[in-house]
Amino acid sequence: MTPVETRRPKIPARKPAAQTPAATASASRAAEASGRQRLIEAAELEFTQKGYDGASVLSIANRAGVKQPLLNYHFGSKEGLWRAVVENAYTGSLTASRQAADAPDPADPLARLQAALRAFAVSNILHPAAHSLVLMEVAQDGPRLDWLVDNYMKPFHDKLDALIAECHAAQLLKPYPPEHASVTMTATLTAVQSATHLIQRLYGVGPMTAEQAEQHAEQVIDVLLNGMLARPASRRRAAGAR
């Protein structure tokens, strides 16, 4: 006689727990933030390669892997996106430079000047594409340059000029006209970034890491303040006289 099999009742498969409204909202915010940042990064490349007028919002959305309406949702227009690219690159730099310039050490204006220059240099080194698109606007003039000057360049240069004036008063720097000293300093600090593609072709050197950016900033500040000569001119003359 065949034993009767005991049949166990089937237990229905457990359904995955539904996300709470808070978790769903958090995931949605994270996705939006990710899409927004991808758009900024894609726009940085698009504006650098094609210029503002040649850049296409559809191409930017495709680069970022999102739908164009998301671009309009976050930035409103192509100009709004362009401004977001600049803000993404330079807001931190401007804040760091202001903090360095306002450091509570009035007895050492040269140290505060160096700190402000370092913050400026590192930000530009780590955002080469943004630096390139800013140079485009400087070269051609127009309303976007006005916005750049009002929101970033003038606030930074006002602080920088004040520090240079303090160093002049303390006889720590030669009394070059402030408008020349200020622009010479910033142009020298960003010279390597302006020639990124040339350096890659000449030396096979790619973009700098954050550590390399700090080191390069220190080297350029040393060149600005001390020159590239290994020995001061007085020591060279003394050595030649022997």
Residue 235 placed within a domain: no
Q: Which of 42, 38, 37 is nearest to 56 (CA)?
A: 42
CA–CA separation, 193 and 51 (whole Å): 17
The two structure tokens encoding residue 150: 């009002």
Same domain, 69 and 99: no
Q: Write out the chain's pLDDT in tens, 242 residues.
A: 444 444 555 555 555 555 565 544 454 455 556 889 999 999 999 998 899 999 999 999 999 999 999 999 999 999 999 999 999 888 777 777 777 767 666 678 999 999 889 988 888 888 887 888 888 898 888 999 999 999 988 988 998 999 999 999 999 999 998 788 999 999 999 888 878 888 889 999 888 888 998 999 999 999 999 988 887 666 555 555 55
Q: Do residues 157 and 125 both lie within one domain?
A: yes
The reply to whether 64 falls in a domain is yes
155-188 exposure pattern, b = at least 16 Cβ within 10 A, e = fewer:
ebbebbebbbebbbeeeebeeeeeeebbeebbee
In terms of domains, do 64 and 101 share one?
A: no
The residue among 10, 45, 76 that closes a domain is 76
The whole model's pTM is what?
A: 0.73
Domain-located, residue 16: no
Cα–Cα–Cα angle for 95, 64, 151, nearest 5°?
25
Query: What six digits make up the tokens of 166?
Result: 């303090």
Residue 68 within any structural domain of the chain? yes
**132, 224: one domain:** yes
Question: In this structure, are 180 and 60 located in the same domain?
Answer: no
Domain count, the chain: 2
CA distances from 75 to 66, 80, 130, 183, 186 (A): 14, 5, 17, 32, 30
Contacts (Cβ under 8 Å, ≥6 apart) of 173? 110, 164, 167, 181
Range of the domain at 53: 32-76
Q: Specify whether 123 is located in the same domain as 42.
A: no
In a domain, residue 241? The reply is no
CATH of the domain at 59: 1.10.10.60
| Residue linked to tokens 């202001």 | 98
The domain that holds 156 is classified in CATH as 1.10.357.10
- Do residues 60 and 117 share a domain? no
The CB-side HSE value for 194 (13 A sphere, CA atoms) comes to 12
